[in-house]
Amino acid sequence: MTLFPTQEVGSLRKPFWLVEGLRGKGISAVAEKELAHWSQTVPIHREPDPRAARLDPAGLPMLSPADLRDLGSLFGLRYLEKAGLDIVYDGEMRRVEMYEYPVRQATGFEFLGHVRSFDNKYYLKAACVGEVGLRAPYHVEEFQFIRDHAKGIPKVPVTGAYTLADWSWNEYYLNRQKGWKGRAERKAAQREFAVEIARKVVRPTLRALADAGAKILQIDEPAAGTHPDEADLVAETFNESTQGVDAKFVMHICFSDYRSLFPAVFEAKRCSQFLLEFANRDRGGIDGYEELQYFADVNDHREVGVGVLDIHRDEIETPELVAQRVLRAAKILKDPAKVYVNPDCGLRTRSLDVAWKKLTSMVEGTRLARSQSQ
């Protein structure tokens, strides 16, 4: 592997032709224009797959939802490869979100309704009302398609057990606690619940993905920083999820107070890389990368996926800024070989144009960092 490998993290915004095509109500002029624009840069209509030749305003209505999803996946994959990333996926083009889908593949859950995240934003939240189980491992067909088409190295993102548990209500396991359900009972039941998800939902899925040929599996734990006193549970569920599965494991955490997770999260023994957001906090005179110092202080052997792109701002990081961030991380970690380069998180909230400019700048900045690191 080259020095400072570049990698994707999560989802990209879906192209309009995919969203509108799946709605089945025709393609708008905006979608047509976008399709024409991207066919220059990411020409998937020239792929050997005969369905790709129909990727134009006349052919789109003839494509089935399954065809559209395949072509969406191919577009996301080629977009990331063309941007120059070493480690890729498909921008999660088949996925709508990261919670509801895995929960629908599991048993023992019941969706109760929408809960406000903030303002007028909501998410559908489920309660665990029975023993946790799994209908069938998920993401496998999605990965197989990418495995068969990828030119870069694929890395599969999977929502972690801790997050699935934290974003659900826990009725079944809490109800097994006798008497008043105070903090101690709630915490004990949550531990049991999260570990059950790790063993019975996430582990079989990771195993199926590994059996299908996945070499790198990224476990996403955006909820990891929610409860500082549960950092050990994040590690425990990671260990339970990955037990007996042969792959390289990455843990992605973002927008959290990392100090609340250290050192407990280092107990995630099979984790080879922590992939973290930093660029978001690197502004206004604040050194956003100072928390990397902890890795050096404890002499942790693992790689760090260093976030160099702020995913919440349209402003494009220059290659020089990216290079400076990469080299700063390498200096703090005292080992350039430990540094992987990535956006802070998925670029879904940015337009495809902005995401493209950011990613290509990241790739160029990383090349610059390599040349300056020699």
Partner 1 sequence: MLPVATGLTTFFPRSEEIVRASREFERGRRTRAELDQLTVRGEGIVTALEERLGLSWVTGGHLGVHDLFRPLVDSTEGMMTGPLTRWYETNTFYRRPVAEAPPRLNVRKLAYHLPSASGKASVILPGPWTFARLTEDRRTGAPHDLEAQLVSVLEGAIVALRNAGFAQFILHEPELVVRPPAGPAAEQLLREYSGLRAALGKSSGLVWTYFGNAGPVLPLLARLPVDGVGVDLSETRPSDLRSWTASQELGLGCLDARTSLPENPEDIAKIARELLSRLSPRGLVLGPGVPLDLLPETAAIRKLEVLGKARMLLGGHPA
Interaction site with partner 1 (CB under 8 A): 112-122, 125, 127, 166-167, 169-171, 174-175, 179-183, 186, 223, 226-228
Q: Which is nearer to partner 1, 94 or 125 (CB)?
A: 125
Q: Which is nearer to partner 1, 312 or 357 (CB)?
A: 312
Helix (H, G, I), strand (E, B) or coil at 64: coil
Q: Which is nearer to partner 1, 142 or 230 (CB)?
A: 230
Determine whether 58 is exposed, middle or buried from the number of CB atoms within 10 Å of its CB (0-12, 13-18, 19+). exposed
Q: d(Cα 259, Cα 239) in Å, to the nearest integer? A: 20
Distance (Å) of CA 211 to CA 68, 244, 246, 250: 26, 12, 9, 18
Tokens standing for residue 112:
């109760």
Q: d(Cα 325, Cα 308) in Å, to the nearest integer? A: 7
Q: d(Cα 331, Cα 118) in Å, to the nearest integer? A: 39
- The nearest distance, CB 11 to partner 1, in angstroms, is 18
- The nearest distance, CB 96 to partner 1, in angstroms, is 14
What is the secondary structure of 98-118 as a DSSP string? Answer: SSHHHHHHEEEEEEEEEEEEE
- The nearest distance, CB 283 to partner 1, in angstroms, is 12
- The nearest distance, CB 195 to partner 1, in angstroms, is 18
- The nearest distance, CB 203 to partner 1, in angstroms, is 24
Longest dimension (CA), the chain: 65
Q: d(Cα 222, Cα 253) in Å, to the nearest integer? A: 5
Q: Which is nearer to partner 1, 48 or 118 (CB)?
A: 118
- The nearest distance, CB 5 to partner 1, in angstroms, is 32
- Which alpha helices (DSSP H) does 84-230 contain, by range? 100-105, 140-149, 161-166, 172-175, 183-197, 203-211
Q: Which is nearer to partner 1, 223 or 362 (CB)?
A: 223
Q: d(Cα 186, Cα 102) in Å, to the nearest integer? A: 23
Q: Which is nearer to partner 1, 26 or 61 (CB)?
A: 26
- The nearest distance, CB 94 to partner 1, in angstroms, is 23
Q: Which is nearer to partner 1, 119 or 148 (CB)?
A: 119
